[in-house]
Amino acid sequence: MNEIEITNTTLFFLLVFIIIPVCLSYYYSLGLSRSILWSAFRGISQLLLIGYILTFLFGLEPLQGIPLMLAIMIMTAALHAAKKGKGIPYILPVVFIIMVVIEGMVLALWLSFQIIDFEPDQVIPMSGMVIGNSMVAIGLALDKLKSEMKTEKEKILASLALGASPAQATQPFVKRIIRSAMIPNIDGLKTIGIVQLPGMMTGLILGGVSPLVAVRFQIVISLSIFVAVSLSAMLAVLIVYRFFFNSRMQLIERE
């Protein structure tokens, strides 16, 4: 298979497509024109920057490049996810530790079964998918947790007044939050390969890898992401809900 090359000229002409949603936003007065242009510019700039960074890291020794990049990725993801838990004490270190544990577990699994080698060009791209999806799952879980604690405040207070512990008072809501975080991933696994060809599999095929080999790698990353997302959401909710109660088991309002 011939190597695919996308020239700068091709990329420039593809940017013309951005004009379509911008024009539609302007025509229908959606107020999104600036956001679309800024998002496109920021996204392209970030991708170009990471391209140069990865080129540099891939040239380093694995024990130098991999820990450095993973630390940057996890910290950035933790900062972004922690914003959803604004007002909750210790939320950033909690999220950071959860993501380190999840990434460490998944990476150890890959290396133990020799799925990938401890090389920057293999560890970093695959870890990025796990870290990114974990970030989204934790952010959604924290946002949902804060919402549930506010809307279900009266029920929680009533349960506490009847002698329930914080764990018992919040159990129905915790279950609901964890369930809502897992369902999209369960549905995604049901339709993978039928409704859409996943990104990693598509990239490997475009790179000249056999479809069957590409499928094997896609299975690995899909299951890894599913486990990472499920555990991330569970750990975030099961740990963070405790910060809504004081030592006397009284409910504390968090903004």
Residue 205's pLDDT is what?
81
Nearest Cα residue to 231 out of 125, 60, 97 = 97
Residue 1's pLDDT is what?
46
pLDDT digits (tens, 9 = 90+) for 193-250: 666 667 778 778 877 888 888 888 888 998 999 999 999 999 999 999 999 998 888 8
| Residue 2 neighbours by CB under 8 Å, 6+ apart | none
pLDDT digits (tens, 9 = 90+) for 135-149: 999 999 999 999 988
Name the residue type at position 31. G
Average pLDDT for 2-25: 77
Q: What is the DSSP letter of 2?
A: P
- The C-alpha atoms of residue 117 and residue 115 are separated, in whole angstroms, by 7
Nearest Cα residue to 174 out of 149, 139, 194, 203 = 149
Contact status, residue 181 vs residue 229, Cβ threshold 8 Å: yes
Residue 255's pLDDT is what?
65
Q: Which residues pair with 196 in a beta bridge?
A: 192
Token pair 């700068």: residue: 8
pLDDT reading at 15 higher than 80: no
Residue 184's pLDDT is what?
80
In this structure, what is the dihedral angle of CA atoms 18, 184, 174, 228, given to the nearest 10 degrees?
-90
pLDDT digits (tens, 9 = 90+) for 35-77: 989 998 898 888 889 889 888 888 888 898 899 999 999 999 9
Residue 175's pLDDT is what?
87
| Residue 62 neighbours by CB under 8 Å, 6+ apart | 118, 119, 120, 123
Tokens of 171: 């159990």
Q: What is the DSSP letter of 245?
A: B
Residue 4's pLDDT is what?
60
Token pair 């290396």: residue: 111
- The C-alpha atoms of residue 84 and residue 146 are separated, in whole angstroms, by 9
pLDDT digits (tens, 9 = 90+) for 72-120: 999 999 999 999 999 899 999 999 999 999 999 999 999 999 999 999 8
